Amino acid sequence: MDGKRLLAGLVLLAAFTLAPAARAGRSCEPRKPTVATVEQGLRLAQRTHEALEAAYARDGVQLVLLARAGRDLTKYGLRWSHLGVAFRTRDASGRPAWRVFHKLNSCGSDSADLYRQGLAEFFLDDLWRFEAAWIVPTPELQRRLLALLADDARAQRLHQRPYSIVAYAWGQRYQQSNQWVLETMALAQEPAATSRLRAQAWLQLQGYEPSVLRLGPLTRLGGRLAAANVAFDDHPDAKRFSDRIETVTVDSVFAWMQRSGLGGAPVRLP
């Protein structure tokens, strides 16, 4: 079978068998993927793999913070919706492969779990825009994160199943996907950050600033009634009732990584 026919076969297979049960940073509308969207997702995964392999060959990059655009957040001034940690490994045949460790919400529910997925799975999640972005941590932070992710107990240490897509950045009642990445990165950098409270304290000391979403009472009420994965009761009353929802976003993590010197400028793959 030639390359084009093989790709076409993979696209058709994915389009009619893919039924993701967990999603993050995107709409939860039950839409079956089309052949076109599956093909776009696979191509983005392949291009991302090639770009990351080039970064490995050129600079020895073995781990990046990888973002996708699963939903339209432009009205909040945000470009990316979901963040995972992508690391270089090898597949069963010994060929180089990149896998993503990230947290996904069971769609429509109030809980989430951690997953290790390939790039194809990461980008076959009904994206709003077929674009990717990543930031390369410093070599030392890469080393620390690789060691942490190789230890399942440590990788899950700060994970909390109760989920809200707008979880308060400095709260512990819920935890959203980008928040798990950020707090786990704090644990990698500071071994004493063995609780979410300690990790958040370290992040505050290091100058991390969450995004502030301006959400009025009707928007908050509508979101809470429409989905179990949206909650605002962890936000301080003074901030919530002044329409200030402070949460962890990809954009805020990327900005902080640059300010803190823990990473370089984001690389975007349109």
Return the residue matching tokens 């793999």.
49
111 touches 79 (CB < 8 A): no
42 touches 124 (CB < 8 A): yes
Map out the domains of the chain as residue ranges: 3-269
pLDDT confidence of residue 223: 42
Which residues lie closer than 8 Å to 112 by C-beta, 6 or more apart? 22, 24, 103, 104, 105, 106, 161, 163, 175, 176, 177
Give one DSSP letter per residue of 134-149, joined into a string.
EE-B-HHHHHHHHHHH
Q: Is the dihedral angle over the CA atoms 253, 265, 134, 80 positive or is it negative?
A: positive
Return the residue matching tokens 């071994």.
191
Predicted structure pTM score: 0.86
pLDDT confidence of residue 27: 45
pLDDT confidence of residue 270: 87
pLDDT confidence of residue 24: 52
User: What are the counts of helices (DSSP H) followed by strands (DSSP E) for the chain?
Assistant: 10, 9
Q: How far apart are CA 30 and CA 32, in angstroms?
A: 7
pLDDT confidence of residue 239: 86
Q: How far apart are CA 157 and CA 58, in angstroms?
A: 33
What is the mean pLDDT, run by run of 10 residues, along the chain of 270 residues? 40 36 49 81 97 98 97 91 97 96 88 96 89 98 98 97 96 97 98 97 98 67 57 90 91 98 96
22 touches 107 (CB < 8 A): yes
117 touches 134 (CB < 8 A): no
103 touches 177 (CB < 8 A): yes
131 touches 269 (CB < 8 A): yes
The tokens for 111 are 């809980």
Task: Provide the CA 255 distance to its chain's centre, in angstroms.
Answer: 15
pLDDT confidence of residue 125: 74
Exposure b/e, 130-159, CB count within 10 A at least 16 = b: bbbbbbbbeeebbebbbebbeeeebbebbe
